[in-house]
Chain A
Amino acid sequence: MLLAVFADIHANRQAFSACLEGARARGAEQALLLGDFVGYGADPEWVVDTVMGLVERGAVAVRGNHDNAVGSSREGMNAEAQMAIEWTRGRLGAEQRRFLAELPLSVEDDDRLYVHSEASNPARWNYVRSTADAARSLIATSAHVTFCGHIHRPALYSMSVTAKMTGFVPKTDVPVQLTRGRQWLAVLGSVGQPRDGNPAAAFAMFDTESGELTYCRVPYDIDTAANRIRENGLPHWLAERLRQGR
């Protein structure tokens, strides 16, 4: 099955639409949604409704720290993120908030693990910044491939049977075979707020038969997404950083 993998959509309707269209064009048969559907962006209702629709049709979704923060005021966040979450709470209906609150923190599917941050302690929302962080996550699971997001920068780590690590910044549109002799941690770039210097929206395609993973980038209407953030009185930096991809 050809899976389309999306992480950190962050209420960016324009970016998520472009990624969904990109995944459709590449023949996606099912979606995998790695959390942080809301926060930062100006279209949380549309994004959550779209995610709920995908889940109804069989997609798997897990909860991110921003989704969690909608239902709990105790998440440690910076001022801008906190302000965006407070604004988001006032936009989402009860059904949407319940959907986010009830999402699982991680899901095992065949020999794959889906989690927003990393596998060793999903509720602590640790970032995977290095091969050492990746090793901690990989040791905590026996899954062949773990998919996560959270850091908004694409990366691909692997651990051999002798616990040797490799780290790699994936090349856009070059399929990588996730070979069976080792465990892999695929860190997704962000759909709605890329931070790797490339402002294009990021997602990935994974072929469960061949084991091939392809990181993809698509351009989207950044102007509209940025204007929506400003029009709704959200911090201007959240609009500006979309253009910079930072």
Chain B
Amino acid sequence: MPKSLIKSGAVIDGFTVGECVHRGGMATLWTVTHPDFDMPLLMKVPRVSEGEDPAAIVSFEMEQMILPRLAGPHVPMCFGTGGFSRQAYIVLELIPGNTLYGRLPDLPLTYDEARLLVAKIASALADLHRQNVIHHDIKPSSIMFRPSGEAVLIDYGLSHHNHLPDLLQEEFRLPYGTAPYMAPERLLGVRDDPRSDLFSLGVLLYFFTTGERPFGEAETLRAMRRRLWRDPHPPRKLRSDYPPWLQEVVLRCLEIEPVWRYPTASQLAFDLTHPDQVKLTTRSERLKRDPLSTVWRRRFNQGAIQPKPKSDVAAQLASSPIVAVALDMAEGAPELNEALRVTTQRILATLPAARLACLNVLRLSRIALDRTLDEQGSNKHVDRLVALQHWAAPLKLDESRLSVHVLEAVDPATSILEFAAANHVDHIIIGARQNSLVRTLLGSVSAKVASEAGCTVTVVRPPQLAHSSYEHAGAEAGEVAG
């Protein structure tokens, strides 16, 4: 292996090396400049000299393969890489500020601050998983925040890209990563399940809200393996004021079986941004860990946690979308709402892990001061929530898959679009208004949503009776022949 060429003032592939800003176990970090890139840059150089851990080399190879393919605000932008034949390096955008590790002295954080913080990280993870990458080293020191607020995930040396060879596959006899945050299935050699990242994020949420790590600081493999059968103390045992919804979220992330966790990071982010919509199961009530009988069954009857065949990250995400259905309650279009229910049912039937958000827009007047109470004195907002729940009841969805939302807005289309963007909605189902007079006056909500949404949109119309479609065709026949 050639000697490192990196020192202050050296020029490598057009990058001028500045000063060393960090010396870690696996790599050193240097500031660099390049005449073509007018932004602060960082060069990451692996430690590969004699006697260093060979894992450092493989991790660096993996990072070199993955980073140039990533895009978006939640990853550091990559500006160049150099191979081991001359001088191995990766040049990245320098993210200003510190990692989340700097917040450790402030723990525990308030529930609300922790909730918003982890929701941002979950959104970043969702974006990473959509790019077919599992991070595998989610912990405070791998997380930064942009000045604009988005979480940025750094350090991809242990990551898995579903479309690339996994160089770490057989590299280590022991699972490699950060022990307190490692998901139990990683101890069994599973590297292709994105829900491993949700477990690590659950550890972080537990730690940030209680001040204690759920599995301690175990470093030995023997101690780490305990998490294959031993569940952590419920947070409510540590803090009596711990909100039940938050315990529900934390313990769902920390489920031993990946399939019992949230199916996607987007769905976790959704619950964290809508705490009032979290379905409370027995998880939320627990004050004690599982009884020893359960623990012993898990430990000595491990059939249930044997490694599963390879999973396809993209297919798993695609089977667990967030679907939003926009309903018009005020104008009372029963045929349309029935048609929407039929379409929604068909879409959900093929997607057992999808969750459904039912939306209704309570239109605010542009001029007049709005009153929350109607003429009869009942609360409009609550009435709409009840109506949405009533509409959804025949779908017979488990509560954890269903949420209802009344959005108050002047412009319905914009509020639906904003909800969809903020909540990573994958599919919007919306009805086309049949009353042409209203549509002419107000513009079509469904048309605006369909044309401007960043996701798939299904526009639903009620089935037309034979005579009405005949009349419709007749009316247009004058303009369009045939």
B170: which of A161, A164, A177, A182 is its contact (CB, 8 Å)? A164
The stretch that binds B, out of A69-77, A168-176, A224-232, is A168-176
Residues of B within 8 A of A177 (CB): 64-65
Residues of A within 8 A of B164 (CB): 168, 174, 176
B167 at the interface (CB under 8 A from A): yes
Residues of A within 8 A of B170 (CB): 131, 164-166
Instruction: Pick from B54, B84, B165 the residue with the most CB of A within 10 Å.
Output: B165
CB pair B83–A166 under 8 Å, yes or no, is no
Q: A176-B164, A176-B165, A180-B83 are in contact. Are A160 and B65 (CB under 8 A)?
A: no
Q: How far is the CA of A166 from the CA of B171 in the complex (A)?
A: 8
Q: How far is the CA of A179 from the CA of B83 in the complex (A)?
A: 7
Q: How far is the CA of A131 from the CA of B169 in the complex (A)?
A: 12
B188 at the interface (CB under 8 A from A): no
Known contacts A179-B65, A180-B85; 6 further A-B pairs (Cβ under 8 A): A166-B167, A168-B164, A179-B83, A181-B57, A181-B58, A181-B84
Q: Which residue of B lies closest to A157 (CB)?
A: B165
Place the interface of chain A in its size category. Answer: 10 to 19
| B165-190 residues at the A interface, CB under 8 angstroms | 165-167, 169-171
Q: Which residue of A lies closest to B86 (CB)?
A: A180
Q: A171-B163, A180-B85, A181-B61 are in contact. Are A166 and B54 (CB under 8 A)?
A: no
Q: A165-B170, A179-B61, A179-B64 are in contact. Are A156 and B165 (CB under 8 A)?
A: yes
Contact with A along B303-338 (1 / 0, CB 8 A): 000000000000000000000000000000000000
Q: How far is the CA of A160 from the CA of B58 in the complex (A)?
A: 8
A166: which of B84, B85, B162, B169 is its contact (CB, 8 Å)? B169
A130 at the interface (CB under 8 A from B): no
Q: How far is the CA of A182 from the CA of B165 in the complex (A)?
A: 12
Residues of B within 8 A of A168 (CB): 164-166
| A142-167 residues at the B interface, CB under 8 angstroms | 156, 158, 160-162, 164-167
Contact with A along B60-96 (1 / 0, CB 8 A): 0100110000000000000000011100000000000
Count of chain A to chain B residue pairs whose CB atoms are closer than 8 Å in the complex:
50
Closest CB-CB distance, B180 to chain A, in whole Å? 27
Closest 3 CB pairs of A and B: A168-B165, A171-B163, A174-B163
The interface on chain B, measured as residues whose beta carbon lies within 8 A of the other chain's beta carbons, has a size of 18
Residues of B within 8 A of A181 (CB): 57-58, 61, 83-84
Residues of B within 8 A of A166 (CB): 165-167, 169-170
| B144-168 residues at the A interface, CB under 8 angstroms | 162-167
| B340-373 residues at the A interface, CB under 8 angstroms | none
Q: How far is the CA of A166 from the CA of B172 in the complex (A)?
A: 12
Q: How far is the CA of A167 from the CA of B170 in the complex (A)?
A: 9
Q: How far is the CA of A73 from the CA of B391 in the complex (A)?
A: 75
A161: which of B54, B65, B162, B166 is its contact (CB, 8 Å)? B54
Closest CB-CB distance, B174 to chain A, in whole Å? 14
Instruction: Pick from B54, B162, B163 the residue with the most CB of A within 10 Å.
Output: B163
Closest CB-CB distance, B380 to chain A, in whole Å? 51
Residues of B within 8 A of A167 (CB): 165, 169
Contact with B along A70-95 (1 / 0, CB 8 A): 00000000000000000000000000
Q: How far is the CA of A171 from the CA of B64 in the complex (A)?
A: 19
**CB-defined A-B contacts under 8 Å, sample of 10:** A160-B54, A160-B171, A164-B170, A166-B166, A167-B169, A168-B166, A174-B163, A176-B65, A181-B61, A181-B84
Residues of B within 8 A of A161 (CB): 54, 57
Closest CB-CB distance, A100 to chain B, in whole Å? 34
